[in-house]
Amino acid sequence: MTTEAADPVEAVAVSPAAGPGFLQRYGTTIEYILIPGAALVGALAVFGIFVALFGKNPLDLYFYMYQGAFGTWFSWQNTLTRAAPLILTALCTALPAQLGMVIIGGEGALLIGALSATSIALAIPWAPPLVVQITMVCAGVVGGGLWITLAGALRQYRGVNETISSLLLVYIGLAILNHLVEGVMRDPSSLNKPSTREIGAANMIGSIPGTDVHWGLVFGVVAAFASYVLIYHTVFGFAARVAGGNIRAAKIVGLGVGKLILTICFLAGGAAGLAGMIEVAAVQGRTNANLAAGYGFTGILVAFLARQNPLAIIPVAILLGGISASGGLLQRRLGLPDASVLVLQGIIFVFVLASDALYGRIAFLKGKS
């Protein structure tokens, strides 16, 4: 959608290298990179001031953040491992956003997906690992998918606000998980930390050869690409974007809005459920309360920072995975509390939303000097 730069009358050559055509074609894209980038830098600056108030050197902060996120091969692997579930939980917010829905319940779908995947793996211990893994993927997707479909159906058939219902479902999902993990599904030998039995080392999905990064990253990247193709290169995706732009117009041209909402919500929840399955099958090996690590909530931020674009989600998820990966180093070297990552995420979120006001207002991108 080139809205600002498309006007040929306004487009004037800014520099000989760029030319009018360049800004005309890429002005909006540049804007989509420049403005969130500036918001990110602003947020980092404010966070630097914040830690300076506590007597830490902001330059040390930035150095250790870089070191902990992208400084070494080890930190890169840590970052990518954290990015994998973030890509998937971000899709849980970004896909419904195409329809104009604000779903923030990715955490709940992740938990339910993990729980379904674990249950199915524990139910078929005799099956060969590949069968178990494929069944776990299906169970995770279906579990998480149905969870968010519930929020979508409530919106469609009862007019219940999907933002609130999806968040309430997070707490309900967590209660169900705790109930089962401390009840019927509890491994009697897990004393301090109630957990289910382990799914078994043979059924774990393992790492990408040559790295410590698990296969979940590939799952995430594939899901993001698939979502991109679905939204921007299929009739279904086009219908979804029409309905998101103007629901009345969509109804007039005969689009099945209800079907669109339910399908998109299922895919969105399925992505988050897959994240839960991956956390079980690649990291934890079992289901317990550790799974509620906040990936679902960080995913909301990733989706907004990526402006709900499935492809942009991949680099943004790596960036925020890096921020959370650097948390450990910040704790050890600077003595910052582990919640400092949360504070930074909150500041980034606030800046990114406030920067929405800037779109279409940067003079030189419109070709004016």
Query: Considering only 6-14, 32-40, 204-212, 355-363, which stretch makes contact with other proteins by CB under 8 A?
Result: 355-363
Phi/psi at 147 (nearest 5 deg)? -60, -45
**340 contacts other proteins (rule: CB under 8 A):** yes
Going from the C-alpha of 250 to that of each of 102, 132, 160, 236, the distances in angstroms are: 19, 42, 20, 12
The distance of closest approach from Cβ of residue 364 to other proteins in the complex, given in angstroms and rounded to an integer, is 20
What is the residue-wise DSSP string for 72-139?
SHHHHHHHHHHHHHHHHHHHHHHHHHTTT-----HHHHHHHHHHHHHHHHHH-TTS-HHHHHHHHHHH
Going from the C-alpha of 146 to that of each of 12, 73, 244, the distances in angstroms are: 51, 38, 21
36 or 216: CB nearest other proteins? 36
Q: In 3-state terms, what secondary structure has residue 15?
A: coil
Element of type H or E holding 53: helix 19-53
13 or 168: CB nearest other proteins? 168
DSSP, res 42 = H
**Among residue numbers 146 through 165, which ones bind other proteins (CB under 8 A)?**
154, 156-161, 163-165
**81 contacts other proteins (rule: CB under 8 A):** no
**94 contacts other proteins (rule: CB under 8 A):** no
d(CA 28, CA 16): 19
76 or 297: CB nearest other proteins? 297
Query: Considering only 5-13, 16-24, 114-122, 169-177, which stretch makes contact with other proteins by CB under 8 A?
Result: 169-177
Candidate residues 6, 49, 131, 353; the one interacting with other proteins per rule CB under 8 A: 353
Query: Considering only 20-28, 214-222, 232-240, 338-346, which stretch makes contact with other proteins by CB under 8 A?
Result: 338-346
Give the CA radius of gyration of the chain: 22
Q: In 3-state terms, what secondary structure has residue 288?
A: strand
Q: How many residues bind other proteins (CB under 8 A)?
A: 47
**Among residue numbers 98 through 117, which ones bind other proteins (CB under 8 A)?**
102, 104
**7 contacts other proteins (rule: CB under 8 A):** no
Candidate residues 46, 255, 334, 343; the one interacting with other proteins per rule CB under 8 A: 343
311 or 343: CB nearest other proteins? 343
**293 contacts other proteins (rule: CB under 8 A):** no
Helix axes 19-53, 340-354, angle to 10 degrees: 140
Candidate residues 114, 169, 267, 329; the one interacting with other proteins per rule CB under 8 A: 169
**356 contacts other proteins (rule: CB under 8 A):** yes
Q: Which two tokens stand for residue 105?
A: 């319940």
Candidate residues 67, 119, 135, 178; the one interacting with other proteins per rule CB under 8 A: 178
Identify any residues that bridge with 196 across adjacent strands, giving them in sequence order: 186
Q: Which two tokens stand for residue 204?
A: 């774990």
25 or 186: CB nearest other proteins? 186
Candidate residues 13, 168, 208, 221; the one interacting with other proteins per rule CB under 8 A: 168
**300 contacts other proteins (rule: CB under 8 A):** yes
In this structure, the number of other CB atoms found within 10 A of the CB of residue 273 comes to 37
**251 contacts other proteins (rule: CB under 8 A):** no
**337 contacts other proteins (rule: CB under 8 A):** yes
- At which residue do the structure tokens 């939980």 appear? 89
Q: In 3-state terms, what secondary structure has residue 300?
A: helix
**Among residue numbers 257 through 286, which ones bind other proteins (CB under 8 A)?**
none
Query: Considering only 1-9, 133-141, 198-206, 298-306, which stretch makes contact with other proteins by CB under 8 A?
Result: 298-306
d(CA 42, CA 45): 5
Contact residues for 230 (Cβ-Cβ < 8 A; gap 6+): 236, 237, 267
Which parts of this chain interact with other proteins (CB under 8 A)?
Answer: 102, 104, 154, 156-161, 163-165, 167-172, 174-176, 178-179, 182-183, 297, 300-301, 304, 337, 339-347, 349-350, 352-354, 356-357, 359
